[in-house]
Amino acid sequence: MAASASNSPVKAATRAFSIQRKSALALIPLALFLIALILALSGTDYETARHYLGNPIVSLLVIVTILATVAHMRIGMNEVIEDYVHGSFLHVLAKTVNILFCVAVGLGSIYAALKILIGF
Amino acid sequence: MAETRQAARPLSPHLQIYRFTITMAMSIIHRITGVGLYAGTLLLAAWLLSVAMGPDAYATFQSVAGSWLGQLILFGFTWALLHHLFSGIRYLMWDNIRAFELRQADFISWGAAVLGFAATIIVWIVAFKLRGVL
């Protein structure tokens, strides 16, 4: 019973509302960190870029930024789809593509960050 | 005197009927920059993957990012991110019933627009200084 209640559309919407605001709050410093990181590495050589991104603290912050970003953008795009994409087939398709895109970007970025960190 | 023909159902007024307000414009721009940033995460993924893949891939990424088109897109990405950030802070304030009066709401909306643009310019001045261009 508890499981079915937590999967109800109302609970899901409340959860999305809450995640959207928490991720937004987290992304204020994380987005600024990301800009600073990209600035520091813009135009540097490969070794420098790898050295910075291979730092465990930088790597952790990058991964947290990616997770917060993916969570935030999935909900944001879902809202856009709910407003503009009508018709049951297109609606479901758009929402599915949204999830696939967010998972792909998230996994690709985290894979890269871990590969730089550990060097597998 | 009853109407014999059924009148067309009234439509609710849409965007073009309303007077321009900064809060309305900022709402639209918030959504547009959000969608832009969504696509822009591909750039972030490409950047990280190029570093992970090695010097050749990184060199390719840098030459594309350093081209005039790449720089234009990166400038747009910077603005979209900073605009969305400052614009988003307004929503967090309103969630907490801050700056809820009309004039305050207008003020922080103009403020977010100006801050987003100014911060973008500052970031790019720093970027050019770091590269020794300025």
Chain B residues touching residue A58 (CB < 8 angstroms)? none
- Please tell me the predicted confidence (pLDDT) of residue B14: 76
Residue numbers in A near B62 (CB within 8 A):
43
Q: What is the CATH number of domain B26-130?
A: 1.20.1300.10
Pick from A24, A39, A109: which is nearest to B126 by CB? A39
**Euclidean distance between the first and the last CA atom of chain B, given in angstroms as a whole number:** 79
- The whole-number pLDDT of residue B3 equals 52
Q: Each residue's pLDDT tens digit in chain B (134 positions)?
A: 455 566 788 877 777 778 889 999 999 999 999 999 999 999 999 999 999 999 999 999 999 999 999 999 999 999 999 999 999 999 999 999 999 999 999 999 999 999 999 999 999 999 999 988 87
Q: What is the average per-residue pLDDT within A47-66?
A: 97
The alpha carbon of residue B129 and the mean position of all alpha carbons in its chain are separated, in whole angstroms, by: 25
Topology, domain A2-118: 3 helical TM bundles of succinate and fumarate reductases (1.20.1300)
Q: Which long-range contacts (CB under 8 A, 24 or more apart) does B18-27 make?
A: B21/B106, B22/B106, B22/B109, B22/B110, B22/B113, B23/B105, B23/B106, B23/B109, B26/B87, B26/B90, B26/B109, B26/B112, B26/B113
Summary mean pLDDT of chain A: 93
Give the minimum alpha-carbon distance from A2 to chain B in angstroms, rounded to a whole number. Answer: 29
Is B51 close to A43, i.e. CB distance below 8 A?
no
Per residue in B12-39, pLDDT (tens digit) is 777 777 888 999 999 999 999 999 999 9
Which chain A positions have a beta carbon within 8 Å of B59's beta carbon?
46
Residue range A24-47: mean pLDDT, rounded: 96
List the domain boundaries for chain A: 2-118
Among chain B residues, CA nearest to A48: B51
Relative orientation angle of helices B68-95 and B102-130, to the nearest 10 degrees:
150
What phi-psi label fits residue B29: left (phi over 0), alpha (psi between -120 and 50 degrees) or beta? alpha
Considering only the beta carbons, identify the residue of B42, B58, B66 that sits closest to A49. B58
